Structure 1
Amino acid sequence: MSQSVAYYNVHAQQFMDETLHLDMSALYDAFLPHLSENAHILDAGCGSGRDSREFLVRNYRVTAFDASEKLATLASAAICHPVAVRTFDQVSEYQAYDGIWACASLLHLPQQQIPQALATLWQALKPGGVLYVSFKRGEGQREHNGRHFTDATEEQLQSWADALQRLEKITIWQTADRRPGRDEHWLNGVFDKSPKQSDKLITGGKHRHFLPHLCASINKSSEIDMAVAFVKATGLKLLVPDLQGALGREELPARVRVLTSDYMDITDPEALRSLMLLQEQGAQVRVFQSAGTSFHLKAYIFTYVGHDKSRHGTAFIGSSNISRQALQDGLEWNYRVDYPSDDGFFEALSRFEELFRHDNTVPLSDGWIDEYEARRVLPPTPTEAGSHEVEEPPAPTPVQTAALVALKETRAEGYSRGLVVLATGLGKTWLSAFDAAQMGARRVLFVAHREEILHQAAETFIRIRPKSRVGFYMGKQRDMAVDVLCASVQTLGKNAHLERFSPQHFDYIVVDEFHHAAAPTYCRLLSYFAPTFMLGLTATPDRTDRSDILSLCDDNLVYAHNLFEGIRSKLLAPFHYYGIYDDSVDYAEIPWRNGKFDPSQLAHKLATLGRARHAERVWEKHGQQRTLAFCVSINHADFMAEQFQKRGFSAAAVHGRSELSRGEALEQLRSGELVILFSVDLFNEGVDLPTIDTVMLLRPTESKILFLQQLGRGLRRAEGKDKLVVLDFIGNHQGFLHKPQALMGADMNHRQLAQYARKAASQKLDLPDGCFINYDLQLIDFLKSLDGEGTEKDYCLLRDTLGRRPTLTEFYRFGANLSQLRKQFGHWFALVAHMDDLDETESKLVEQQSAFLTELEKTPMSKSFKMVLLEAFQELDGWRNPPELSALASQSLKVLQRRRSLLGELPEAMRESPDQKTWQAYWQRNPVKAWVGGNTKTAGSFKIADGYFAAAITLASDQIDTFTALVQELVDYRLASYEARGNIEPVDHNVSVLPNSELARTGLPFFPTLKIACGHFRTSLVEAEEYRHLGEGYGQLNPNRHFIAQASGDSMNGGKNPIRDGDYLLLEQVSPNQAGSITGKTLAIERMDEAGDTQYLLRVIEKTAQGQYVLKAKNPSYDDILVTDELSEQFRTFARLESVIDPLELAVGQDFMREDIAGLFGAEFNRGSWNVGHVFLADASAHVLLVTLNKQGKADNHRYMDHWLGEQRFHWQSQDKTTPESKRGRELINHQELGLTIHLFVRENRLLNKQAAPFTYYGKVGYQSHEGSSPMSVILKRV
């Protein structure tokens, strides 16, 4: 056909002139009478557009295409209607058109391709539709005037038609060519497709599933009755989503009754437990106790109100029980009975009523299931299709296995709380069920804020613990005598409900998706209960969103596996992401409040014809086979589905009020009957859609989590699916800025977003293999325009990202400049007040208690104890009821034991179970004494009265809860920032295989973006502090004065000790009054220019004979700067250079893959030379030792005896060939004299999660002694 396409591209205008005005009315009269008014016609191979124009004039809906790009362009202009460029094999629509017109177009295909092209068009034709085709009358194939022709006879046309299914009739006739000077004859055919009928008999099998019929009936019915001999969990889960939807309708929830039996013990106990959950939601479930009586019922009865407002009914009577095989692929016959046309419906309903109330029928209960499980004996061989159908619980994935190991280890270390971060799609809820089973938890509490999550959790726990009783505590449900309780925090979090349980009632508590709620909502619940272990779960990609839950988990991040890691581990599909500029909507016109657009105005702005057309074009270009599109409202979803249908695509909308149920929609999407499904929120979570290969986001998302959940619907891997395409429609508004952050799993301020845009534009983003990110240029420009900084700007960005005001911990972890904050506003809550984010009570408290809150935020902390005491004080409700000192000391110890990372600050004798009297005395010396003012001459914030520890400030009773929340926010921040310093002595949990890599090293603030401008002034922003560690070789270091920064520029690159661009510098912060003698010293000079920007200059300070200072560069290419009186007012001594740091010093304690180690020494990685345990780098004068402690799987002669001798010394055994006299042996023994260094990298095991494990760098080591030869045993000591 390409030959013909090329011809028409060249002769397009000539063809237009010859055909556009021909009178084809005789052919229209044979075709159009088959169509209803406003029918949808596909003009397949429209040529000049002549026929499309006529159909449009007659008020038909038209979709037109042609394979010639030039013809399509001219035709579109001539008829003022879009004409797509595509070929017959690109027609993928399913039952989309009432009529298809293929006039003189199929004839250009090779003869062997015509049957497939007809089948493709036939599939796109609706039942009852009509297809018109025409060929030149003749036989065989030929080339004529640069075009290919396939001619046809009546017999040939009839043969092609006979291959089409559901062909009702074909009409064939001849006509003469109407063009001047032509004497050819044409063969015309009209193919009528038989209309779709309501099948009375559903026979099952591959293409006639019973399931869609049930789903459709459930969706429209007000009364649902099912009676089956047995229920299998595999089949029930196919019906549960639609049954839950029917029970949960806002208007007129359905009555659902299910009757099954214990006949032959085939019914699954697991299925019965799931039916118990359905019963919790309002269904009535009963069991017929057969007692030897046969029970072979398979009846499904539905009652609903028809369009005429009268009662209608449908019953299916047949052979299908509730099993996957019976509902899907099995050959099962079920006969349909409809009322009012068949009174047999009422006969079936009457018999159901009798059985439902039969003496042998009992209500389903947990007790009955327990008894049934105890006596159940499944027949040894299947009695019916699906009777032995079993779906084994899934085994943990490699990621879940790694998380389970980490959870087990964290409990062994003494932690009672922990956080796990898993990307959407990696199975957080499954992990919690696996871990509860691993721990042997007897009673489990699963807490979430949405009922949908709780229902999914209940089903998951039943799969893993099929013998457990599972219940709910939400809404009006109050189950207590259960093994697994799924509770909404809104209900259980109230004191009246908490007090119905003892604090020790649950062994294991799961807090899921905590990012949806404010921390105080959960604090009450978590403070009340004392489980053996509490697990926090989130899919939040960055530290910002998870800071609150991390504090509730005692800052114990047990395990994390983000989106990119999930893709790299082959558990999630790679994605191609397209950020599409949404130019049809001016988002600035839509009100924006609390991180959200006004929903009604947003829905109105999004449902426009222009935007729908834009979406269609983008989808046609990038979309794949099965698309899930997310809309902002029901009206928006319906509108988009209608617009896509008008364009000839098989599309549908599914929501709570749609005619199509969720079950039907999924089935049609899987089968290919639908190519695009528009939804509001029914598919955000918990839906198994592995074959979805395109996700289209047609609405803003209020949070990173919602964005990732919608993205996650398509990330499941499936056979034949190589990637997920994401089409995200984005406006140039702050409401979309969280999306790049969510996608990359990183929090970004405005400046970092601008940098991200630059990397995206140049395709330099660090993405997993197979992934791709592209933004329209308008969006790149918008993101670039954000470049800049400022406390208020960062606050607004974070507030918009979270959809609420941030906490101080979140702001700190976001990377905001806290020094600038305090310089500008004084303290945190002053900024919050300035941003109008405090309510009336909070504002009053911040004003009244400003001194205390400021002290709390800024008070020096050499240890964590002051904040630990405050946390314990608040847990004891101390503002309301001052605790006794003994109770406060005991609770403080519990906090420390819970926050294991802080326990190392205590003397060893105090860490676990010290004597109460000894412990209380220790605690009173510090921090009690500090808080009551014992260390100063001023009055403290607290006081001791009659053995009670009480606040020295006065609070009204109605202020206490609010004040508690404000204080806890500051306590969380102080502990989080304190732990980030890393100066806490580690607690030795049993035996440590690997010593602490940070032993005897001091953590110093590291400013990766603070460049000391060498030679040229450069504006720079001090980002939030990271901490890097230096050893004793750098002298006595103080984290409050010393810090690390990188040099920028080459002005100091000269002389004996040059400072090069990128060097790491150790500096001591000094004030002008503390700098002492500065002559001859290298100083960082701070300058505040006229614009208020802070700039830095690194120079050697010299003095002229006249006493003026000169800032001297070591590089002679740079001029010295004479500090005049005018300039001196702008300069301030900022820091003194102590040393240039060896970059390897900063790598100590970090993990590196084998292939990344070479780069630390400026070497190239070569697998042949680096796949050994001892590498010599001549250019770096370095020996690199790569040690694996546990060498299972190695041959005996490779299992070297490597182990730690305490914290500082290491026993290393060389390879067999190494002797003290060999070159390598001599270099190790005499490395200092030879100017060589030895570097030690150690890992415990060769593999981690079935992949190569990284090595931890322990820094430089020195030779101490050796013994033996071939191999040598060498004792090395950390330098």
Structure 2
Amino acid sequence: MSERLLVNSGTETLLKELTNSLETCEKFYFGVAFVNFSGVQLLLDALQKAIENGKQGQIMTSTYLNFTDPVALRRLHEFSDLDVKVFVTDEHRGFHTKTYIFEYADEYKIIIGSSNVTHSALKSNVEWNVELVSKKDMPFTDRVLKEYGLLWEDSTPLTESFISDYEKQYQAVKRAASSVHLLRQSGAYITPNRMQQRAMVNLERLRRLGETKSLVIAATGTGKTFMAAFDVQRVKPKRMLFLVHREDILIKAKETFEFLLQNKPVTFGMLTGTRKEIGADYIFANIKSMANVFKQFKPDTFDYIVYDEAHHAAANQYQEVMRHFTPAFTLGMTATPERSDQLSVFELFDHNVAIEVRLHEALEDNLVVPFHYFGITDVDGIDLSDLTSRDQQEIARRLQIHSRVEHIMHYMGFYGYQGRKRKALGFCVTVEHARYMANEFTARGVPSLALSGDDKPEAREYAIARLEDPNDPLECLFSVDIFNEGVDIPSVNLVLMLRPTESPIVFIQQLGRGLRKHPEKEFLTVLDFIGNYSRAYLVALALNGQRYYDKESLKVAVATGFAHIPGPVHIQMDEISKEQILNQLEQESFFSMAHLKEAYMEFKKVRHGKPPYRLMDYHTYDGAPDPITFINKAGTYLQFLYKVEKDSFLAELIADEIWVKAYKVLSAMLPLKRPHEAAILVMFLNKREIEVEEAIRAVEHWIEGVREDSVVHAMNTLTQKYSDDSEKKRQPALVEWQEGKLVRTAVMERFVSSETHTDWMKDVLEYGLHRFEKGFGATSDQLPFLHVGTQYQMRDAALLSNFEKSHSSFRGSGLLANGKDYFLFVDLNKDADIDERLNYQDAFEDQYTFLWESPNNMRQSSTRGQNMIHHKTRGYRLHLFVRKYREMERQTQPFIYMGKVNVERATGDLPVAFRMKLEQPVPLLLYRELTEIV
């Protein structure tokens, strides 16, 4: 008998074990206390294939505590060749079994543990399940089968009449539970969620630094209004103003504050076209009404002002109000921090971002519902391989065939949806395509409508209200782009991707339309019909959720079903779609100008044709391309822009060779490995000279516990103290020391005198700082300033350990040192033409252990050898950096910092072979990415 413990961890989940076992077994027998549709849907394909292959199966569940979902029972009942029974419990006899039995020719696999059939139990919950594999006729196996058989005989066969009766009981219990929940709700017992807690901590930190403004960026439905109310509850302003442009949002915001701050000694009022309650302590106003009367208030009337939907704050009405009032603190909240033609939302709030929550953070924090994504190979006979994103009409024409409609409807029926009524959004290629789909669905018994930008707002609102109404027959709305953002339909339970994915941004926006929490929805079903389109691989970028990626990480993500995505999210592609996407990823050159230009143009299209002239434009969109790849290709973002846009004003900027060199100095800093230098340079855009104490305060804006020695090192770095002669020739110094202060050089003085030059330089610095903050949060200063899992070049270790000699000398052997820090740089896959140490073995033994061979001139008895072997007692730190390949697509690859390692054993000489334990184990998915070839 063999046994092992099954837990949900990365790529290893109970779901994966069950689906693999259903594929290989001869018979299967499940006995679980309850089944939910969220779990059954994940097993549908595996169950279907098992039954099609002639495998016999039994599933036994129960009515225990009325947890079993009648929708799940009905879906299981639809499998005509699957035997399903229900153990009916009563007050004297419960049913809490969780058993999965698989029969093979000579043995049984038995899984017993804690997991029922729900998506959380199968994928993400902390669950312990023991798997036992034993020969047939073993005492333990016989006992399990006997007990299962007794329960099976004592259970009721599943019938439609049983489901109907149970459904009435289930709904009655659910209504009673909902009533109890409403009775118990009280603002005094509501506590902040994880997002709100992080935001409040950062808001408090910014206020301690003397900041008076801050911005919160989070998707619709993630709790921004409650977060603002919690912060107001903490700050206790005497008077507060909440401003927004829509009255329906205003009413909900007031209700939220009243609910959370009930029994507090403050009054609440509204300022709208019909209500003028301006004497209230906390006023909720629409901007139109406030713009008419704001001069009646003194500038310091309000201690705290909230601007909801803050991306509108660059408009004239908002600007007049913002300039008038001088509150102690101003909070901006937005889901889409897009830049207007005049002002950036980030600028309006002094570049203070308390928190930024995009889709995958929202999933991790349970702020939105998880989704079950099914990538389905499109119907045979549709060939899109010769078309591009510019051929929209032809793509739509080829997709408008009856067999595809039947194909879509088949899979809609197979995978189903959660809720009493199907509430679907279908995203199409063109308006004509949307109308075609609506007509075809309606003709087949699924009442549908097509909406477009040509429809009046009233018509759209009426259609949305019909879809949300459980008693209205309307089941599906088809559109092109109007539902991508800014539309809130919480009860949507099905999203149909009926167009080739051309932009990860648009895909994420469309997916987001169904992720709003709703009482009748535990998860969202997403059906994506993937054709043989030349850029089908873009769906992998959209689902990946990593803003910064490479080909290898994407291939591993696809191969593992995107197992790195948090929570009970399920992403499943059929084998044909998966193979197609993997092949495209293998063939695509991510660093070619053609690929980069295509990514840029798609991003420009999302911005309605407006060129993204600022790096910060990329920071505002979830799923935007990584502009660092553009910089790496062309030297600077400005030069890349000129290659694709050919604007005359860009040509004028590029013609200034000295300025371009200075701009390139800043561009080369990206992505920032520490914020010190950039934070100091931002100050120099407005100040001629800076003392060390001022520089420390500038860095404190971005990290905590700032070290003075690191700030001084950063100031010296900016003066080119650690640059070699060739670097000094290529890159002009922007600052220099004079009488104990850092001051602008003549080059810097020249540039800050030009508003255009200053704007371009400020954009690079601000993008670098906001990207750093997004990646690391309010991290603490440390030496060396390294973060596990982050990518670095060799030279970065010199900067981040305050190396005080030429930083370009940090290269070569793979073992570099600065004081008590040793840095080990390893290529896991050697290149025989480059690496003379090809015969030496550097490899992960497992997630916890690394085997490393020293440079071939090291002996154990040498000073360095002894320092490494006895590093703990001698106070040395060993830092491990690895990369899978030295180059990919002719691009030198960075190393990934794996953290500190401790020597367990050292053997041999010339070289010395070390066995080391990592202080932090390598995450399973990263381990697979580094060690496997996909």
Say if 1:502 and 1:666 are closer, same or farther in 2 by CA, change over 3 A.
Answer: closer
* CA distance in structure 1 between the partners assigned to 2:569 and 2:778 by the alignment: 42
Q: CA 1:952–1:498 in 2, change beyond 3 Å: closer, same or farther?
A: farther
| Deviation per residue, 1:117-157 (Å, 9 max, x gap) | xxxxxxxxxxxxxxxxxxxxxxxxxxxxxxxxxxxxxxxxx
The 1:1085–1:588 alpha-carbon spacing in structure 2 relative to 1, beyond 3 Å, is: closer
1:758 paired with 2:559, answer yes
* Partner in structure 1 of residue 497 of structure 2: 697
Look up the SS of the partner of 1:1003 in the other structure: coil
**Aligned equivalent of 2:684:** 873
Q: Check if 1:1045 corresponds to 2:850.
A: no
Q: What residue in structure 2 maps to residue 678 of structure 1?
A: 477
After TM superposition, list the pairs within 5 Å mapping 1:403-418 onto structure 2: 403=198, 406-407=201-202, 410-411=205-206, 414=209, 416=211
Match of 2:448 among 627, 651, 655: 651
Q: Does 2:334 correspond to 1:512?
A: yes
Cα gap change, 1:1046 to 1:960, in 2 (>3 Å)? same
Tell me which amino acid in the other structure corresponds to 1:469: I
Tell me the equivalent position of 1:773.
Answer: 572
In structure 2, the partner of 1:1238 is none
Q: Distance in 2 between matches of 1:719 and 1:439?
A: 32
Question: For residue 529 of structure 2, what is the aligned residue in structure 1?
Answer: 729
Q: CA deviation at 1:479?
A: 6.6
1:616 maps to 2:397: no
Q: 1:539 aligns with which of 358, 373, 382?
A: 358
Other structure's SS at 1:696 match: strand
- Structure-2 separation of matches of 1:923 and 1:654: 56
- Rg bigger for which structure? 1
Partner in structure 2 of residue 952 of structure 1: 747
Q: Render the CA deviation track for 1:583-630: whole Å, top value 9, x for unaligned.
A: 7766667664xxxx5777776666565654443343344344413123
1:963 to 757, 761, 772: 757
CA contact (8 A) 1:424 1:709 kept: no
Q: Pick closer, same or farther for the CA change 1:562–1:720 going to 2, 3 Å.
A: closer
Give runs of aligned pairs for residues 557-576 of structure 1, distance below 5 A.
561-566=361-366, 572-576=369-373
Q: Could you report, residue by residue, the CA deviation over 1:97-116 in whole angstroms, capped at 9, with x for unpaired residues?
A: xxxxxxxxxxxxxxxxxxxx
Q: 2:786 aligns with which of 984, 1003, 1027?
A: 1003
Amino acid at match of 1:1003: L
Structure having greater relative contact order (Cα 8 Å, sep ≥ 6): 2
TM-score, length-scaled by structure 1: 0.39
Q: Distance in 2 between matches of 1:631 and 1:929?
A: 53
Tell me if structure 1 keeps the 8 A contact 2:618–2:625: yes
C-alpha distance in 2, partners of 1:1091/1:572?
38
Tell me, in whole angstroms, the C-alpha distance in 1 between the residues paired with 2:600 and 2:820. Answer: 31
SS in 2 for 1:710: helix
CA distance in 2, matches of 1:1093, 1:869: 31
Letter in 1 for 2:496: M
Q: 2:699 aligned to 878, 889, 896, which one?
A: 896
Amino acid at match of 1:426: T
Classify 1:981/1:687 alpha carbon distance in 2 versus 1 (closer, same or farther; 3 Å): closer
When residues 478 and 872 of structure 1 are mapped into structure 2, their CA distance, relative to the original with a 3 A threshold, is farther
Q: 2:919 aligns with which of 1140, 1145, 1165?
A: 1145
Verify the 8 A CA contact 2:372 2:523 in the aligned structure 1.
yes
* AA in 2 matched with 1:427: G
Residues 727 and 896 (structure 1 numbering): CA distance in 2 closer, same or farther, change over 3 Å? same
1:710 to 495, 510, 513: 510
Q: Which amino acid in 2 is paired with 1:1142?
A: M
Matches within 5 A, 1:630-669: 630-632=426-428, 635-653=432-450, 656-657=455-456, 662-663=461-462, 665-667=464-466, 669=468
Deviation at 1:670, TM superposition (A): 3.5
State how far apart, in whole Å, the 2-side matches of 1:791 and 1:1040 are: 34
Distance (Å, rounded) in 1 between the aligned partners of 2:613 and 2:580: 28
Q: Which residue of 1 aligns with 2:653?
A: 845
Tell me the secondary structure at the aligned position of residue 899 of structure 1.
coil
More strand by share: 1
The answer (yes or no) to whether the contact 2:817–2:823 under 8 Å persists in 1 is: no
- Residues 799 and 684 of structure 1: is their aligned pair in 2 closer, same or farther, counting only changes over 3 Å? closer
Question: 1:463 and 2:255 equivalent?
Answer: yes
CA distance in 2, matches of 1:984, 1:565: 18
Distance 1:591 1:782, change over 3 A: closer
Decide whether the 8 Å contact of 1:469 with 1:484 is kept in 2.
no
Give the Cα–Cα distance (whole angstroms) in 1 for the partners of residues 318 and 204 of structure 2: 36
Deviations 1:901-958 (A, max 9, x none): 48434699x9xxxxxxxxxxx999996898999998997546999999575379799x
Cα offset, 1:740, TM superposition? 3.2
**Contact map agreement 2:537 2:581 (CA 8 A) in 1:** no
Counterpart Cα distance in 1 of 2:768 and 2:423: 47
1:439 is matched with which residue: 220, 229, 235? 235
Aligned equivalents of 1:407, 1:653: Cα separation in 2: 44
The answer to whether the 8 A contact 2:376-2:528 is kept is yes
Q: Which runs of 5+ in 1 are unaligned?
A: 1-68, 70-88, 91-389, 542-560, 877-882, 911-921, 988-997, 1011-1021, 1072-1077, 1097-1113, 1116-1135, 1157-1279
Any residues of structure 2 matched to 1:280-299 within 5 Å, and which?
none
- Unmatched tracts of structure 2, length 5 or more: 1-51, 53-73, 76-184, 258-267, 270-281, 298-304, 605-610, 804-814, 858-863, 869-881, 895-906, 926-934
SS at structure 2 position matched to 1:871: helix
Distance 1:890 1:507 in 2: 25
Q: Distance in 1 between matches of 2:777 and 2:821?
A: 12
- Contact 2:682 2:762 survives alignment (8 Å): yes
User: How high is the sequence identity, in percent, across the aligned residues?
Assistant: 15
Deviations 1:820-863 (A, max 9, x none): 976x75555445544x2563323331341222223334489998
Q: Amino acid of the residue matched to residue 493 of structure 2? A: D
The C-alpha deviation readout for 1:424-472, integer Å capped at 9, x for no partner, is 643334434443444345556779xxx7xx6665344322344343445
Counterpart pick for 2:665 among 839, 855, 873: 855
Tell me, in whole angstroms, the C-alpha distance in 2 between the residues paired with 1:620 and 1:1085.
46
Work out whether residues 817 and 1024 of structure 1, in 8 Å CA contact, stay in contact via their aligned partners in 2.
Answer: no
Q: Name the residue aligned to 1:194.
A: none
Q: CA deviation at 1:865?
A: 5.5
Single out whichever of 810-819 and 838-847 deviates more from structure 2.
810-819
Q: Does 1:792 align with 2:592?
A: yes
2: CA distance between counterparts of 1:755 and 1:1086? 13
When normalised by structure 2's length, the TM-score is 0.52
Q: Give the length in aligned residue pairs.
A: 633
Give the drift of 1:871.
0.9
SS where residue 1142 of structure 1 aligns? strand
Separation in structure 1 between the aligned mates of residue 751 and residue 541 of structure 2, nearest angstrom: 42
Distance 1:471 1:708 in 2: 32
The structural deviation recorded for 1:501 is: 0.6
1:677 Cα offset (Å): 1.9
Change (3 A) 1:695 1:810: same
Tell whether the 8 Å contact from 1:1003 to 1:1027 is kept in structure 2 after alignment.
Answer: no
Counterparts of 1:732-747 in structure 2, within 5 Å, are: 732-733=532-533, 737-747=537-547
Relative distance call for 1:1066 and 1:497 in structure 2 (3 A) is farther
CA deviation vs aligned residue, 1:170-207 (integer Å, no higher than 9, x gap) = xxxxxxxxxxxxxxxxxxxxxxxxxxxxxxxxxxxxxx
